[in-house]
Amino acid sequence: MKKQSSETAKSAESDDIRTTFLIPDDVHVTRPLADDLLHLLHEHDAPATLDSITQEHISALNDAILRSTLSSEMDGVAVLQISPTVALKKDAHFDISHLSTLDHIRQHAPSLPIPRTFGVLFDQTRKVQYTFMTFFPGRLLESHWMHLPDAQKKSVHNQLEAIFQKLRSIPPPALDNGRVLSGSGMPARIKDFRRWQRIAEEQILNEKAFNDFITWGDAKCEEWRKMVRSFMREDHACVMTHGDLHPRNIVVQLVPRSEDDSCHDDLTEKNVKVLAIINWHMSGWYPEYWEFVKALHTIGIRRDPTQDWWQYLPPCIGTWPTEYALDEMIDRWQWAMDP
């Protein structure tokens, strides 16, 4: 028997992934279907959004899924490109509470390069969500980072600075009493991800309550918690925060500087253009140091190609060594506890 060629194997793998994305008949709409997605459904004369879905719509979407290509796959979550402008993510653990935050960002800063959501379907039986969002025709910065010379990294740094200056200037929603509502979603909730994700059960309206939330622990950790808690400030400003500013969440495109540069792969002859910041699941209004701390949270100490990421973070988010050290201490004891 002849060995299967790599091209054939890749095609078979892609076919298998596409098949797992097929939408069942009993899904319902949890976020209205809009714009680019309606064109896939041949609803050119439809209203601006659709709040329900028919069998004809599901059939049209499944046809698009079977023609799609695999865009990315990470940690068991795949993303398909189902049209030139639409991507589809299927996830059993996908949290859409942040979408209201993205709506708020887009309302106040429409030029920011963030994904739009064209609709969310939910399969109640299998507890799976299908999220249709903007497709960005680039690659993740993480895949290029270790090969980029310093000049290109500085270019990314400068582009992120412009983006995050706008982002952090966005005003948060305020309560009737004038206090700032922290976190994201409706109702707004604080999130913290370490060994697992925790979501505050109640609204958190000040940094004292925020500090109490992130320093939770059982009685065995009480003295440790008291020590760390005594070092923590309660007067940071509350600002709009992405919450996971890592090269894996930045889509970029390598653009030739001239027509002569388009025929070779020399990175020094290309510009790196930031197309989008993606994966806003941990976004919301958080203390001003939170962006810096969480941008470095998953950077490995050894053999991590993004170890120098800290040098190229946008200056407007600040550098917070004390807060970073305290957060590392919090992380240390959270990992020491059983879930």
- Asked whether 316 and 168 are in contact (CB, 8 A), the reply is yes
* Residues 3-18, mean pLDDT to the nearest whole number: 56
Sheet containing strand 139-140, edge to edge, reads 139-140, 250-256, 270-277
* Residues 6-14, mean pLDDT to the nearest whole number: 48
Residue 44 CA: distances (Å) to CA of 38, 39, 41, 66:
7, 6, 8, 22
Residue 312 lies in a domain: yes
pLDDT of 326 over the 80 cut = yes
If asked whether residues 293 and 157 sit together in one domain, one would say yes
Tokens of 327: 């957060």
Q: Give the percent of the chain with pLDDT over 70.
A: 85
pLDDT of 266 over the 70 cut = no
Residue 197 lies in a domain: yes
If asked whether residues 117 and 147 sit together in one domain, one would say no
If asked whether residues 149 and 261 sit together in one domain, one would say yes
pLDDT score recorded for residue 8: 46
If asked whether residues 130 and 10 sit together in one domain, one would say yes
* Residues 171-188, mean pLDDT to the nearest whole number: 72
Instruction: Identify the top-confidence range among 138-152, 171-185, 210-224.
Output: 138-152
pLDDT score recorded for residue 324: 96
If asked whether residues 90 and 148 sit together in one domain, one would say no
Residue 114 or residue 42, greater confidence: 114
Range of the domain at 232: 139-336
Residue 105 or residue 181, greater confidence: 105
Residue 53 lies in a domain: yes
If asked whether residues 101 and 198 sit together in one domain, one would say no
Domain end, chosen from 99, 134, 169, is at 134
* Residues 65-90, mean pLDDT to the nearest whole number: 89
Number of domains, the chain: 2
pLDDT score recorded for residue 268: 67
* pTM for this predicted structure: 0.88
Please, which residues have CB within 8 angstroms of residue 109's CB and are 6 or more apart in sequence? 166, 167, 169, 170
Domain end, chosen from 134, 149, 169, is at 134
- Asked whether 42 and 33 are in contact (CB, 8 A), the reply is no
Residue 234 lies in a domain: yes
Domain end, chosen from 87, 104, 134, is at 134
Q: What is the CATH number of the domain that holds 211?
A: 3.90.1200
Sequence letter at residue 43 = E
If asked whether residues 116 and 156 sit together in one domain, one would say no
pLDDT of 242 over the 60 cut = yes
pLDDT score recorded for residue 211: 94
pLDDT score recorded for residue 184: 84
The mean pLDDT of the chain is 86
CA dist., res. 183 & res. 189, Å (int): 5
pLDDT of 26 over the 70 cut = yes
pLDDT of 62 over the 50 cut = yes
User: What DSSP letter does each residue of 122-157 carry, written as one string?
Assistant: EETTTTEEEEEEE--SSEEHHHHHTT--HHHHHHHH
If asked whether residues 130 and 164 sit together in one domain, one would say no
pLDDT score recorded for residue 10: 45
CA dist., res. 328 & res. 333, Å (int): 9
If asked whether residues 76 and 151 sit together in one domain, one would say no
Residue 1 lies in a domain: no
* Residues 47-76, mean pLDDT to the nearest whole number: 86
pLDDT score recorded for residue 216: 83
If asked whether residues 252 and 319 sit together in one domain, one would say yes
Residue 110 or residue 44, greater confidence: 110
CA angle (138 as vertex; 135, 144 as ends), nearest 5? 145
If asked whether residues 107 and 152 sit together in one domain, one would say no
pLDDT score recorded for residue 4: 47
pLDDT of 12 over the 80 cut = no
pLDDT-derived band of residue 7, with 50, 70 and 90 as boundaries?
very low
CA dist., res. 190 & res. 198, Å (int): 8
pLDDT score recorded for residue 17: 86
Residue 83 lies in a domain: yes
If asked whether residues 150 and 170 sit together in one domain, one would say yes
Residue 114 lies in a domain: yes
Residue 127 lies in a domain: yes
pLDDT score recorded for residue 96: 83
- Asked whether 121 and 28 are in contact (CB, 8 A), the reply is yes
Please, which residues have CB within 8 angstroms of residue 276's CB and are 6 or more apart in sequence? 113, 114, 115, 134, 136, 138, 250, 251
Orientation angle between helical segments 321-336 and 222-231, nearest 10 degrees: 170
Sequence letter at residue 254 = L
pLDDT score recorded for residue 260: 54
* Residues 253-280, mean pLDDT to the nearest whole number: 77
Residue 94 or residue 178, greater confidence: 94
- Asked whether 103 and 208 are in contact (CB, 8 A), the reply is no
First to last CA, the chain: 50
